[in-house]
């Protein structure tokens, strides 16, 4: 016999007259449970259309073979969610709510989406994202969290939408240990904001303010895991491959979450999120995307009008339309000519290095002239900028240009200057491509590259750096965060700009932008701790922020002195995670 603990919800409870009971089953199948409940209460025969949910999953079919184990969470739910988020019959099963529910409380059933009421925290995310307005929120049980304006209603033992707070025996506690650097150096905060939580409203001091002596200086670190509406991710993707035109949109699951911005040397740049995106209809998807990428998850984006598939994972090579990008270009086509001219001269009379930025032409380039080369009469693809340097174009061909057939790299030849037997080598800035042509009686004939030519192009490849995806998390710390440090928010900003307060994010040094406010950039790979970022469905991303300063600066700016705890006492009294 199996002893199965069964929970009844909403109008099911009205029929059974109780919340929970133990049901004894012989085989333990869902069918046996349904039969038993029908015998006792005619539950499934009374037009109630009750559903069996096991460990958060509604069971729709195969009742005979679906087995229940002792200890499984078995909930008998009405067809519309339960006491929390309720899905009406206008639901068309698009699945957007399933993707976006931060609690993974929703699954698609036969006729609509269903919410597991034992997990739902009334965070309203599903209501905001549902394109059919099919979902409404009903009051339920649990402690109401007031650490942010979402006001999750968290049931016993469960977490809020941001996964930062937990209902433990009716009280809200932090869901993870606070992370503390394992060494004490002037560059690191005494404690990090990872696992720290925040305070609300603004005038309340930050949740952790600790002091200690570091290299004979009394130091204070103020910490908070701060919700930032003004935040975005600057994704740097090392590649020459075409991903789209500057200004084109970037999508996640069909929703616009960012845009392509100006490329950097050898890299395509994408901005994800930002306050105006967060405030738009895809804000929650954008905030989730920022956090997932910043926390090191692999995320697939679709970019531009052509919906180029770009898979990104921080620290790993980008994957574009299924192709792993191994190398980052060494320089533009002109720079490659300039660096390797002596080698290139040995294997061809003319070399074209195709590049979407600047295509190089060896014999006309200053490097070729320096080596005494005679101009070949070749005019390459592109618009001439200066001798041997031609502005390229973006495309999905060789070197990120529109040139797919290497013959098209040669736009024209001045036969008064060219000569019979002349060899033209076409390559790109990563050495991924090689073609060699020979001029015979004014005709170009493609020939197999010889070993010397292959070796020179391999040398270009070998000198390339490995391509990878990296990202800067950018945030703006506003009034609430500053008020958590001191009574005088303006003095906080001034001290940050003077370098008296060091701002770190999960222990990583933040670069503070000049001008007003505390706007910062941080390299997400340097941020310490597992999954240091999170988000709240207002939406805003949540960053672990630390402000470390000499104690005399803390006193001068009106810091919350009464809330300072010696580090040793803090470490004794809290569960901590060493980084
Ligand atoms: S209210 Fe929040 S937790 Fe509940 S189902 Fe909707 S998205 Fe999920
Ligand atoms: S999102 Fe987090 S901070 Fe906001 S109410 Fe929910 S549990 Fe509390």
Task: Pick the ligand that lies closest to the CA of residue 158.
Answer: 2
Task: Pick the ligand that lies closest to the CA of residue 102.
Answer: 1
Cα 491 to chain centroid, rounded? 33
| Residue-wise pLDDT tens digits, 32-64 | 998 898 888 887 665 455 678 787 666 766 788
Q: Tell me the sheet residues that pair with 6.
A: 21, 74
| Residue-wise pLDDT tens digits, 273-305 | 999 999 999 999 999 999 999 999 999 999 999
| Mean pLDDT, residues 161-174 | 92
| Residue-wise pLDDT tens digits, 518-527 | 999 999 999 9
Q: CB–CB of 122/85 below 8 Å?
A: yes
Distance between CA atoms of residues 66 and 123, nearest Å: 32
The residue whose CA has the least distance to atom 2 of ligand 2 is 162
| Mean pLDDT, residues 205-214 | 95
Q: With a 6 A CB cut-off, is 165 part of the ligand 2 pocket?
A: yes
The average confidence (pLDDT) of the chain is 91
pLDDT at site 47: 47
| Residue-wise pLDDT tens digits, 506-562 | 999 999 999 989 999 999 999 999 999 999 999 999 999 999 999 999 999 999 999
Distance between CA atoms of residues 76 and 9, nearest Å: 6
Closest CA to 165 of 196, 141, 205: 196
Task: Please give the full DSSP string across 11-60, using - where no structure is assigned.
Answer: HHHHHHSSSEEEEEESS-BHHHHHHHHHHHH-GGGTT---EEEETTEEE-
pLDDT band at 234 (very low <50, low <70, confident <90, very high): very high
Percent above pLDDT 70 for the chain? 96
* 490 Cα to the center of ligand 2, angstroms: 28
* 166 Cα to the center of ligand 2, angstroms: 9
| Mean pLDDT, residues 430-441 | 96
Closest CA to 501 of 564, 559, 548, 551: 548
Q: Report the 3 state secondary structure along 492-559.
A: HHHHHHCCCCEEEECCEECEECCCCCEEEEEEHHHCCCCCCCEEECCCEEEEEEEEEEEHHHHHHCCE
Q: Checking DSSP bridges between strand 511-512 and strand 51-54, what pairing results, if any?
A: unpaired
| Residue-wise pLDDT tens digits, 387-429 | 999 998 999 899 999 999 999 999 999 999 999 999 999 999 9
DSSP 330: S
Task: Please give the full DSSP string across 440-462, using - where no structure is assigned.
Answer: ETTEEEEE---HHHHHHHHHHHH
DSSP 563: G
Closest CA to 486 of 546, 557, 553: 557
Distance between CA atoms of residues 44 and 46, nearest Å: 6
Task: Compare 45 and 348 and report the one with higher pLDDT.
Answer: 348
Distance between CA atoms of residues 235 and 258, nearest Å: 10
pLDDT band at 356 (very low <50, low <70, confident <90, very high): very high
Task: Pick the ligand that lies closest to the CA of residue 125.
Answer: 1
Q: Which atom of ligand 1 is nearest to the CA of 100?
A: 7
Q: CB–CB of 325/318 below 8 Å?
A: yes
pLDDT at site 532: 97
Task: Compare 479 and 568 and report the one with higher pLDDT.
Answer: 568
* 123 Cα to the center of ligand 2, angstroms: 8
Q: With a 6 A CB cut-off, is 220 part of the ligand 2 pocket?
A: no
Percent above pLDDT 90 for the chain? 73
Cα 309 to chain centroid, rounded? 16
Hey, how many other C-beta atoms are within 10 angstroms of the C-beta on 425? 22
| Residue-wise pLDDT tens digits, 456-475 | 999 999 999 999 999 999 99
Flag whether pLDDT at 31 surpasses 50: yes
| Mean pLDDT, residues 10-15 | 71
Q: With a 6 A CB cut-off, is 152 part of the ligand 2 pocket?
A: yes
Q: With a 6 A CB cut-off, is 145 part of the ligand 2 pocket?
A: yes
pLDDT at site 579: 87
Flag whether pLDDT at 341 surpasses 70: yes
Cis omega (within 30 of 0) for bond into 134 = no
Flag whether pLDDT at 226 surpasses 50: yes
* 127 Cα to the center of ligand 2, angstroms: 16
**Tokens coding 236:** 């740097």
Distance between CA atoms of residues 500 and 547, nearest Å: 10
Lowest mean pLDDT among 82-86, 171-175, 285-289, 355-359: 82-86
pLDDT at site 83: 41
Distance between CA atoms of residues 110 and 88, nearest Å: 13
* 124 Cα to the center of ligand 1, angstroms: 6
Longest CA span, the chain: 101
Q: Tokens 């989730």 label which residue?
A: 288
DSSP 481: H
Q: With a 6 A CB cut-off, is 284 part of the ligand 2 pocket?
A: no
pLDDT at site 81: 37
Alpha helices in 214-356 (DSSP H): 275-278, 283-294, 333-347
Q: With a 6 A CB cut-off, is 151 part of the ligand 2 pocket?
A: yes
Q: CB–CB of 36/3 below 8 Å?
A: no
Flag whether pLDDT at 252 surpasses 70: yes
Q: Tokens 């049901």 label which residue?
A: 23
pLDDT at site 73: 83
| Mean pLDDT, residues 93-117 | 87
The residue whose CA has the least distance to atom 5 of ligand 1 is 120
75 contact partners, CB below 8 Å, separation of at least 6: 6, 7, 8, 9, 52, 53, 116, 117, 118
Q: With a 6 A CB cut-off, is 162 part of the ligand 2 pocket?
A: yes
Distance between CA atoms of residues 576 and 425, nearest Å: 61
pTM of the model: 0.82
């Amino acid at each position: 016999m199996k002893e199965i603990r069964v929970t009844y919800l909403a109008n099911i409870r009205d029929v059974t007259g109780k919340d929970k009971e133990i049901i004894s089953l012989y085989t333990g199948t869902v069918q046996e449970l349904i039969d038993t409940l029908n015998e006792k209460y005619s539950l499934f025969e009374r037009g109630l259309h009750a559903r069996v949910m096991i460990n958060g999953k509604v069971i729709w079919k195969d009742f005979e073979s679906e087995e229940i184990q002792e200890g499984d969470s078995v909930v008998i739910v009405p067809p519309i969610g339960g006491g929390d988020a309720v899905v009406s019959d206008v639901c068309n099963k698009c699945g957007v709510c399933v993707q976006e529910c931060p609690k993974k409380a929703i699954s698609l059933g036969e006729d609509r989406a269903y919410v597991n009421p034992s997990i739902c925290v009334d965070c309203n995310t599903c209501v905001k994202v549902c394109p059919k307005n099919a979902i409404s929120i009903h009051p339920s049980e649990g402690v109401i969290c007031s650490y942010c304006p979402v006001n999750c209603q968290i049931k016993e033992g469960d977490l809020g939408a941001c996964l930062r707070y937990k209902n433990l025996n009716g009280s809200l506690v932090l869901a993870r240990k606070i992370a503390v650097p394992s060494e004490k150096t002037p560059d690191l905060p005494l404690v990090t904001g990872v696992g720290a939580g925040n305070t609300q409203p603004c005038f309340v001091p930050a949740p952790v303010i600790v002091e200690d002596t570091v290299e004979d200086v009394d130091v204070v670190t103020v910490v908070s895991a701060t919700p930032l509406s003004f935040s975005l991710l600057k994704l740097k993707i090392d590649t020459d491959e075409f991903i789209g035109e500057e200004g084109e949109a970037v999508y996640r699951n069909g929703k616009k979450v960012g845009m392509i911005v100006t490329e950097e040397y050898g890299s395509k740049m994408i901005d994800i999120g930002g306050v105006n995106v967060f405030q738009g209809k895809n804000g929650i998807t954008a905030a989730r995307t920022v956090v997932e990428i910043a926390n090191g998850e692999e995320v697939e984006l679709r970019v531009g009008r052509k919906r180029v598939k770009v898979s990104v994972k921080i620290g790993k090579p980008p994957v574009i339309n299924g192709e792993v990008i191994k190398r980052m270009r060494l320089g533009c086509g002109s720079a490659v000519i300039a660096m390797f001219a002596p080698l290139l001269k040995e294997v061809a009379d003319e070399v074209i290095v195709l590049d979407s930025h600047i295509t190089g032409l060896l014999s006309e380039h200053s490097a070729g002239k320096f080596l005494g080369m005679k101009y070949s009469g070749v005019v390459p693809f592109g618009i001439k900028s200066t001798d041997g340097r031609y502005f390229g174009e973006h495309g999905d061909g060789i070197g990120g240009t529109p040139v797919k057939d290497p013959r098209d790299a040669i736009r024209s030849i001045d036969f008064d200057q060219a000569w019979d037997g002349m060899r033209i080598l076409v390559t790109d800035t990563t050495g991924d491509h090689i073609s060699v042509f020979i001029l015979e009686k004014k005709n170009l004939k493609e020939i197999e590259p010889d070993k010397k030519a292959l070796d020179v192009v391999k040398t270009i490849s070998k000198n390339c750096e490995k391509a990878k995806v990296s990202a800067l998390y950018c945030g703006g710390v506003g009034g609430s965060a500053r008020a958590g440090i001191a009574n005088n928010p303006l003095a906080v900003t001034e001290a940050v700009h003077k370098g008296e307060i060091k701002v770190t994010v999960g222990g990583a040094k933040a670069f503070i932008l000049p001008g007003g406010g505390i706007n910062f950039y941080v390299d997400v790979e340097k941020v310490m701790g597992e999954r240091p970022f999170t988000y709240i469905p207002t939406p805003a991303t949540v960053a672990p922020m630390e402000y470390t300063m000499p104690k005399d600066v803390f006193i001068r700016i009106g810091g919350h002195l009464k809330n300072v705890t010696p580090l040793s006492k803090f470490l004794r009294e809290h569960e901590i995670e060493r980084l």
